[in-house]
Amino acid sequence: MTRREGSITAHRSALLRAAALVACILPLGACNPNLDVDGALVPAWITAAAIGIVAMLGARTALIRTGIDRHLVARPAVYLSLAITFTCLVWIAVFRY
């Protein structure tokens, strides 16, 4: 197997894992608590996740600008961990459920 074929296989594997994760998380959308946003009820975890992802993107930008990003061994794991950490912090700090 060439390096390119291994890269494509790894990419497909990552996409399948991401799809499986989304399929597992989607049913949680019906769980409480909900936020009233202009008359529409939005699950609070979606809001916390969106804020967590935006914060992770900001942290990623900071890591790239400081040059730390190129030294990271498992970038996807690091950025996923950052997103989860920021999401949990937002959940605890803002929603306190």
Domain that includes residue 39, residue range = 31-97
Distances in Å between the Cα of 39 and the Cα atoms of 27, 46, 67 are 22, 16, 44
pLDDT in tens, 42-89: 777 788 899 999 999 999 999 999 999 999 999 999 999 999 999 999
Task: Indicate if 40 and 68 belong to the same structural domain.
Answer: yes
Alpha helices by DSSP H, listed for the chain, are 3-25, 44-66, 75-90
Cβ-in-10-Å burial (0-12, 13-18, 19+) of 20 comes to exposed
Q: Which residue(s) pair with 40 in the sheet? A: 37
- Residues 1-52 have pLDDT tens digits of 555 555 667 677 777 887 777 777 666 655 567 777 777 777 777 888 999 9
DSSP helix/strand/coil, 37: strand
40-43 and 34-37 strand pairing: antiparallel
Question: Residue 26: which of 51, 43, 48 has the closest Cα?
Answer: 43
Q: Note the pTM of the prediction, 2 decimals.
A: 0.60
Regarding whether 63 and 52 lie in a shared domain, the answer is yes
Number of domains in the chain: 2
Same domain, 48 and 21: no
